[in-house]
Structure 1
Amino acid sequence: MMVSKNAVERRLELLHDQWTEFAQLPEARLLRWVVEPDEVRMVEAFLHKEGDERLGECPDLFLRLEEPFDEPARYGYALRDALVRLAEESRADLEEDGLPGWKCPPVQDGGTDVDAFLAASDSLRAHYESLCEHLVVVLMPARGQDAGAWRKWLEDAVRKAASAHVRLVVLDDARTLVLEPLAEVWPERVVTIPAKLAMGRALEELSQEAGHLDTPGGKFREFFVRMGNAATKGDVEQVQQLGAQAVAVATAQGLYALVVAARFVMGGALLGAGRPKEALEHYRQAEAAAEASEAKGEPQGAQLRLRSRMAQGAAWVTAREYPRAAALYEETAPLARQLEDARLELECWRMASWCHEVTKEVERAWEHGQRAWEVGRAMDAAARETSTLPYVGEALVRLSHERQGPRAAQAMESEVQSVLGDDWRPEAPAAGGQAA
């Protein structure tokens, strides 16, 4: 009896077919997968599956490399080093199976970083040709924003790639199509395939496949999934209509955590549409539902209340009602402390400080910034790495200069550096004053 595939399995199968189509083209060297933001995780799931010898169905070896693209002229060397590390990690297992270890060819004098990377790739595939038809190198740089340099590097690689058994894969955002010029110049070597996974529809299919649509839980799930799809499309009115139905179902069952979730989607859609005052009302309703959850003794109630208040603060900031936002953040900080949520306590004081700075209340901004800094300093190193403490440090340096001049700013910067290290400054400004 054949078992029908679910929505996720059908999309993985579609990606498999797209890959196979590309792999069979003898002149192709680079697969440019054009993806919508909500398709990235599914493509990554396919690549992860194919990178696992126990799960993969393609006769190819997939290696995902996330080396940063910070230094374009050295990127190929970083990729070469990554291939060497991966080979070393697999050496023991391969030798147990009777396969000798691979030795990377030396870098040739006068060659470029691209030459070094391609030589290593060709050598690795030739060494393990009995294991795979193609060596597939998936390039997903963790950092590096220079689109022009990225295109130039890939063009050099595509132009020089000799072996049809080594293929490169990159993802190109459907919203920006950064690599479109490259595909136009090299149409046979750079193959463009839009993923077209319709992920919004996939979630609806999964909901329907899960069944029980006549139960409260099933009804809420269906409304909630459709809300998310409408929000992705920017259909705010549809979000509000479906959200009202979802809230009604959850409220009737006393499922207040679900009410909060629905209110957040409704508020987020309005916030994204530039309607913060309307979003604020949903976040207030979310807080009321969180209080009801808390009154029932549900452990998540207080945390939901905290999150609802943080969302209200964001709405006030978006509405440029900075004094109201500052007051809300100040009132919310004790709740974050009570819940031992240091990251959000820090964020409360940071945002209160930022709001006061915007309204030229330098001393109050300094006071609240100092409170945020104290919270951040008390965190362990791992927690600090995922917090907005660098933005606090940046603000305090700025405020020090405004209050007492360059010498005070330099002293503050030294203190920040002693806690966060030499490379402490944030890579980019916090959008709208917020980074959490």
Structure 2
Amino acid sequence: MSSAAPVRNPVEKRMARLHDLWWERTDDASLRAVVLRLPPDSQRMLDAFFALQMVDSDYATPDLFLRLDAAYETGYRYSRELRQAMIETVAHNRPQLAKQGVAGPWEEEHASGRDSAAGFVDTGLSLARHLRRQRLSVVLQPGGVSDVACFERWLDAAMQAPVPPQDAGLLRLVLVDDSDSRAWQPLVERHAGIVRVVDAPLDILEAAREIAAQAGGGAGGAALFRQLHADMLMLLRRGDAAAVEATAERAARLATRNGWSDQRAVLDVMVGGAWLQARDFARSVARYRQARAAAAEATQAGNPMGPMLLMQGWMAEGGAWAAAGDMKQSAQAFEQAGETARRIPNSLFAVEGRRAAAQAWLGAGERDRAWASALAGVREARAMAGADRPNSTVPQLLQDMLAMQDPRRCERIAQCATAYEREARAALVEADLAGHRLGPHPPPAAIAAIEAQLVQRYELLFQGQLREREQLVQGGEEVFRTVVAMGREWLDPAWSGLPHVKHPLDLSPGEWRESPAFARLPDPQPFVEAA
């Protein structure tokens, strides 16, 4: 084993420790997969480790790491996309590979029948051989997983795929786990002996604290303040509200001495959150109010973060009152948050403040005030850039308004979407299993037939739910239909409430196999302008 070079800072220390652990735990030709288990919220530290593997550094291991984030929909499609990513990687790096003496053609580029876990393993082994028997560690972090059981079946198949004895150890899969959830532990147990866990010492909060501690006193105690802030984050993770508050008091004295009123506001919000987590609502609200006082000082001093911190203090107080069950005070706090955001101006939070206030008023039994707050949210949404609305809480605001008008109809519309998603998922699982049953080297024509059948099933299910939801929309009162019309103008031409159902192939209405049979809805403009 080659130990990493002497280290200089806490991050390097963790990189070196993981480097050494990788050597110790994975230098075994029998391994088929490695599970990297991380502390919570430490993905960025792992990203840094992987980045160091791409360059000539003291922390590089003998492995060539290839990170693939293709989403898992079906096994055959996932295998195809992973293989294509490998091919593209080789093509992109061909000039550099030629300088390293890897100049010949890679025979795998034009192979067929690889749309399976075994086909992916064959491709990976072929790539390792092409790279002059370079050990390849493929990091799988799918951008999404359609069905966990299907993905696990694919992984099981990859673990069981045959590997020629002379190629043992050339290819390993790397899966990233969370030390709290330990999601991949069942896989480790199913494949004991060929899957190994590496507990990565990459706690980002501990590293941040050590960095602050090593920074020295600094002018005005800035380094000590950073250290105390890092301590608070660690204590928050542990759920020790009293310790968070005690540490915050020390940090607040530093902030007061240096005139850092914005940082005092941040500290108070953190303490308020700790007491909220402990369900001590009175202390939580008191701290959020202190945060607003500090934010007001920062605003008066010309600090550009002051108004945002003031708004966040109101939002946090609204949430605390809601958790305590006092919906009237929650509504009033959320209204103040919305108004503060409007003055910043920040349309995203202005909408959310009014939307949250509407829900709180509704919870307090004051429907008229709830509707008035919702209309105020519509006024804020009207001023928002069109591209921002779909990614804001505007969809939820409109859904809340529909529910205020006709909750039973909203429920039935949502049930249509839920039924569609359930049946579409069942069709996907069926296609996944059909592909799996074709064996390790499925004929391309058979895979194409499964794909075509799945697309046809998707289309039938999508059109069916579209018709059902449209009938329900058209049966609503005028205000209900007007709010839907607003959603279709602001969000998506096929919007009918939440959950929103997109075309399964992400096609726009003009590209659908069947033209959408949408009936005419009221013009939303007079409603929007009168809001």
The equivalent of 1:40 in structure 2 is 43
Which deviates more from structure 2 when the two are superposed, residues 335-344 or residues 390-399? 390-399
Contact 2:36 / 2:174 at 8 angstroms: preserved in 1?
A: yes
**Does residue 157 of structure 1 match 2:228?**
no
Larger radius of gyration: 2
The equivalent of 2:377 in structure 1 is 372
Task: Quote the Cα distance in structure 1 between the aligned partners of 2:219 and 2:284.
Answer: 30
The equivalent of 2:84 in structure 1 is 81
The equivalent of 1:142 in structure 2 is 143
CA change 1:362–1:126 in 2 (3 A) is farther
Look up the equivalent residue of 2:60 and give its one-letter code. Answer: E
TM-score by length of 1: 0.86
Task: Quote the Cα distance in structure 2 between the aligned partners of 1:11 and 1:85.
Answer: 32
The equivalent of 1:431 in structure 2 is none
Question: Which of residues 378, 383, 389 is equivalent to 2:388?
Answer: 383
Task: Quote the Cα distance in structure 1 between the aligned partners of 2:285 and 2:162.
Answer: 55
CA change 1:59–1:37 in 2 (3 A) is same
Task: Quote the Cα distance in structure 2 between the aligned partners of 1:386 and 1:89.
Answer: 34
**What is the correspondence of 1:245-284 to structure 2 with a 5 Å cutoff?**
245-284=250-289
**Does residue 7 of structure 1 match 2:78?**
no
Structure 1 residue matching 2:197: 3-state secondary structure: strand
CA change 1:34–1:3 in 2 (3 A) is closer
**What is the correspondence of 1:218-367 to structure 2 with a 5 Å cutoff?**
218-367=223-372
The equivalent of 1:184 in structure 2 is 189
Contact 1:268 / 1:279 at 8 angstroms: preserved in 2?
A: yes
Structure 2 residue matching 1:269: 3-state secondary structure: helix
Task: Quote the Cα distance in structure 2 between the aligned partners of 1:118 and 1:411.
Answer: 54
The equivalent of 2:217 in structure 1 is 212
Contact 2:308 / 2:344 at 8 angstroms: preserved in 1?
A: yes
Q: Deviations over 1:187-206 (max 9, x none)?
A: 22111122244444322211
Look up the equivalent residue of 1:128 and give its one-letter code. Answer: L
Structure 2 residue matching 1:187: 3-state secondary structure: coil
CA change 1:83–1:417 in 2 (3 A) is farther
Look up the equivalent residue of 1:155 and give its one-letter code. Answer: D
Task: Quote the Cα distance in structure 2 between the aligned partners of 1:289 and 1:353.
Answer: 28
Structure 1 residue matching 2:42: 3-state secondary structure: helix
Task: Quote the Cα distance in structure 2 between the aligned partners of 1:375 and 1:366.
Answer: 14
Contact 2:248 / 2:271 at 8 angstroms: preserved in 1?
A: yes
Which deviates more from structure 2 when the two are superposed, residues 176-185 or residues 360-369? 360-369
Structure 2 residue matching 1:369: 3-state secondary structure: helix
Task: Quote the Cα distance in structure 2 between the aligned partners of 1:121 and 1:67.
Answer: 16
**Does residue 68 of structure 1 match 2:139?**
no
Contact 1:77 / 1:114 at 8 angstroms: preserved in 2?
A: no
CA change 1:17–1:413 in 2 (3 A) is farther
How big is the shift at 1:266? Answer: 1.0
How big is the shift at 1:324? Answer: 1.2
Look up the equivalent residue of 1:165 and give its one-letter code. Answer: L
Look up the equivalent residue of 2:67 and give its one-letter code. Answer: R
Task: Quote the Cα distance in structure 1 between the aligned partners of 2:319 and 2:25.
Answer: 45
How big is the shift at 1:274? Answer: 1.9
TM-score by length of 2: 0.72
Which deviates more from structure 2 when the two are superposed, residues 165-174 or residues 211-220? 211-220
Look up the equivalent residue of 1:419 and give its one-letter code. Answer: W
The equivalent of 2:128 in structure 1 is 125
The equivalent of 1:420 in structure 2 is 491
Which deviates more from structure 2 when the two are superposed, residues 232-241 or residues 407-416? 407-416
The equivalent of 2:435 in structure 1 is none
How big is the shift at 1:169? Answer: 0.8
Question: Which of residues 4, 15, 20 is equivalent to 1:17?
Answer: 20
Contact 1:270 / 1:278 at 8 angstroms: preserved in 2?
A: yes
Task: Quote the Cα distance in structure 2 between the aligned partners of 1:227 and 1:348.
Answer: 28
How big is the shift at 1:414? Answer: 5.1
Q: Deviations over 1:61-96 (max 9, x none)?
A: 222112223445533233223333434444465568
Structure 1 gaps, min length 5: 429-436
Which deviates more from structure 2 when the two are superposed, residues 271-280 or residues 141-150? 141-150
Contact 1:362 / 1:403 at 8 angstroms: preserved in 2?
A: no
Contact 1:68 / 1:143 at 8 angstroms: preserved in 2?
A: yes
Task: Quote the Cα distance in structure 2 between the aligned partners of 1:146 and 1:37.
Answer: 23
Alignment length (residue pairs): 423
Task: Quote the Cα distance in structure 2 between the aligned partners of 1:410 and 1:291.
Answer: 43
**What is the correspondence of 1:80-119 to structure 2 with a 5 Å cutoff?**
80-91=83-94, 94=97, 99=103, 102=106, 104-108=109-113, 113-119=116-122
Task: Quote the Cα distance in structure 1 between the aligned partners of 2:217 and 2:197.
Answer: 40
How big is the shift at 1:100? Answer: 5.2
Task: Quote the Cα distance in structure 1 between the aligned partners of 2:176 and 2:194.
Answer: 16
Which deviates more from structure 2 when the two are superposed, residues 12-21 or residues 255-264? 12-21
The equivalent of 2:518 in structure 1 is none
Identity of aligned residues (%): 27
How big is the shift at 1:10? Answer: 0.5
Structure 2 residue matching 1:104: 3-state secondary structure: helix
Task: Quote the Cα distance in structure 2 between the aligned partners of 1:89 and 1:398.
Answer: 52
**Does residue 26 of structure 1 match 2:29?**
yes
Contact 2:46 / 2:202 at 8 angstroms: preserved in 1?
A: no
- CA RMSD across the alignment: 3.1
The equivalent of 2:415 in structure 1 is none
Contact 2:74 / 2:150 at 8 angstroms: preserved in 1?
A: no
Structure 1 residue matching 2:109: 3-state secondary structure: coil
Higher RCO by CA contacts (8 Å cutoff, separation 6 or greater): 2
Look up the equivalent residue of 1:316 and give its one-letter code. Answer: W
Contact 1:7 / 1:206 at 8 angstroms: preserved in 2?
A: yes
Structure 1 residue matching 2:340: 3-state secondary structure: helix
Look up the equivalent residue of 1:76 and give its one-letter code. Answer: S
Contact 2:41 / 2:204 at 8 angstroms: preserved in 1?
A: yes
Structure 2 residue matching 1:138: 3-state secondary structure: strand
Structure 1 residue matching 2:193: 3-state secondary structure: coil
Task: Quote the Cα distance in structure 2 between the aligned partners of 1:403 and 1:185.
Answer: 47
